[in-house]
Amino acid sequence: MNTLIDQLQSSIGQAHVLTQGNLEAFEKDWRGRIRGRALCVVRPGSTAEVAAVVKACALAGVSIVPQGGNTGLVVGSIPDDSGQQVLLSTQRMNQVRHIDPANLTVTVEAGCVLQQLQQSCAEQGLLYPLSLGSEGSCTVGGNLSTNAGGTQVLRYGNARELCLGLEVVTAQGDIWNGLTGLRKDNTGYDLRDMYIGSEGTLGIITAATLKLYPQPAAQLTAWATVASVEAAVQLLGLAQRELGAGLTGFEMMGQFALSLVDKHFPDMQVPLWRDNAYCVLLENTDNESQEHARGRFEHVLEQAIAHNIISDAVVAESVAQARKLWHIRESITLAQVQEGLNIKHDISLPISSIADFVAQTEKTLAKAIPGVRLVNFGHLGDGNLHFNVQAPEGVDPAVFLQTHEDAINTLVYDSVKAFEGSISAEHGVGSLKANTLPHYKDPVALALMRRIKQALDPQNLMNPGRVLERS
């Protein structure tokens, strides 16, 4: 192994091959549930250096785990516990290479932090719309490799829809330059779409060309209360009819989810949660003016009140107030961390089935495990729920997970399947769901995925055991 480390050091510089010291930040998953151990951490500074690392590892038969911001929630970006894998961090590849305002595109390196990219584009009056609670740490490469979603998917699509071109280092260490900014290019199989969402199992994304939009003239946020999931779905339909593409975000938050934010972050002053089963956060953007946007938005909320769809609503009076409302929504994950270990279910369902799914699954869960606490929230506009489970009050979360995690997952995922949903909406599969996937994915699709993996990475050196279980 020393020969490989020597070779890596001579390819990318000794300072960028870490073998000693505290590597915990690279080796531990974001939720703190699992820690692996790497042979070394490499931090290449260019695409050519990534290619050199991959070639050296391929020659030595050593597998590679790519890592961006390490904010993934399905244990895909940390090494296993063998101490034999090379962890490749894209941290140093963080440049915005080129913004093309006329083509409305940006070309950016994979390790660029999402918020940094958003800011660079905003400085030129342009919008890169992908928006996640983790945007201060997650990277463009991680977003594309997981096909991340977030809170603007309703209007702009997920990471896949925002990507026009990729630069990838293949499992053999070749560089594919597919950094096109073309909106139309039907010249064969779509390699870009294959790498997007492949979670580092087919190659390493080193750069991307992404779509931009003009910054909207106005943006308004409202917080409304509803008595049920049915009412939230009705409100979504009404807002879509009235606002069309102006409806850029539609999030639903259950009472217990908000109670956790209130409990752990009392300074945030969560509005209107105590007397309502659910709160909804709506965002409306408008290309005319703030007044125009407000008029249309208030009209929707008035109609919703008149038809008893919502019971109350506040429209943020300023950008700062809107940010506060979004901050509350984005703090649910951290409030869950404060409450203790929990079980995540990042699921999607046809919007028409969501209310029945929630009612039925909630009931079955409560019957199977009395006292279980459901943290139900998510991107309702995309049919994506975070249907998370917290241990009953007073029960040790670690013991609870050890005893019930498998049974709860089976119960929830069986219900998702019965309602024709997916067991991963936006976080991916990683190693957390790799063994579960074969129970829920079409067998022909799985067989095709295995053949693609075999064709592109015959040595199984790119993030093995992620997405597809180890054979």
Does residue 69 interact with ligand FAD by CB under 6 A?
yes
Q: Please, are residues 76 and 430 in contact by the beta-carbon 8 Å criterion?
A: yes
Map the footprint of ligand FAD across residues 190-229, applying CB under 6 A.
Answer: 199-200, 204-205
Q: Helices in 183-318 by DSSP H: which ranges?
A: 191-195, 229-243, 255-264, 290-306
Q: Can you give the C-alpha Rg of the chain in angstroms?
A: 23
Q: Of these partners, ligand FAD, ligand 2HG, none, which one is at the site of residue 344 (CB under 5 to 8 Å by kind)?
A: ligand 2HG
Strands 163-170 and 218-226: unpaired
Q: Pick one of ligand FAD, ligand 2HG, none as the site partner of residue 204 (Cβ within 5 to 8 A by kind).
A: ligand FAD
233 Cα distance to chain centroid: 23
The answer to whether the beta carbons of residues 319 and 364 sit under 8 Å apart is: no
For residue 378, state whether it binds ligand FAD (rule: CB under 6 A): no
Whether residue 419 contacts residue 353, with contact meaning beta carbons closer than 8 Å, is answered with yes
Among 11, 63, 70, 209, binds ligand FAD (CB under 6 A): 70
Does the footprint of ligand FAD cover residue 173 (CB under 6 A)?
no
Nearest approach in angstroms of CB 134 to ligand 2HG is 8
Q: Which does 386 bind (CB under 5 to 8 A by kind): ligand 2HG, ligand FAD, none?
A: ligand 2HG
Contact partners, residue 166, CB within 8 Å, separation at least 6: 144, 176, 178, 179, 191, 192, 195, 196, 205, 207, 208, 209
Q: Which is nearer to ligand 2HG, 386 or 453 (CB)?
A: 386
Q: What gap in Å lies between CA 98 and CA 116, rounded to an integer?
A: 14
Nearer to ligand 2HG, 139 or 333 (CB): 333
Of 62, 99, 132, 354, the one binding ligand FAD (CB under 6 A) is: 132
**Chain residues that interact with ligand 2HG, rule: CB under 6 A:** 133, 330, 333, 344, 346, 386, 388
Query: 286 near 243, Cβ under 8 Å?
Result: no
304's tokens: 């919703």
Report the SS3 class of residue 224.
Answer: strand
Could you tell me the smallest distance in angstroms from the CB atom of residue 345 to ligand 2HG?
8
The residue range among 4-12, 66-74, 289-297, 304-312 that interacts with ligand FAD, by the rule CB under 6 A, is: 66-74
Interface region with ligand FAD, contact rule CB under 6 A, candidates 256-264, 397-405, 415-423, 425-433: 425-433
Binding site for ligand FAD (CB under 6 A): 30, 65-73, 76-77, 90, 110, 132-134, 138-139, 141-143, 145-146, 148-150, 199-200, 204-205, 333, 426-427, 430, 463, 466
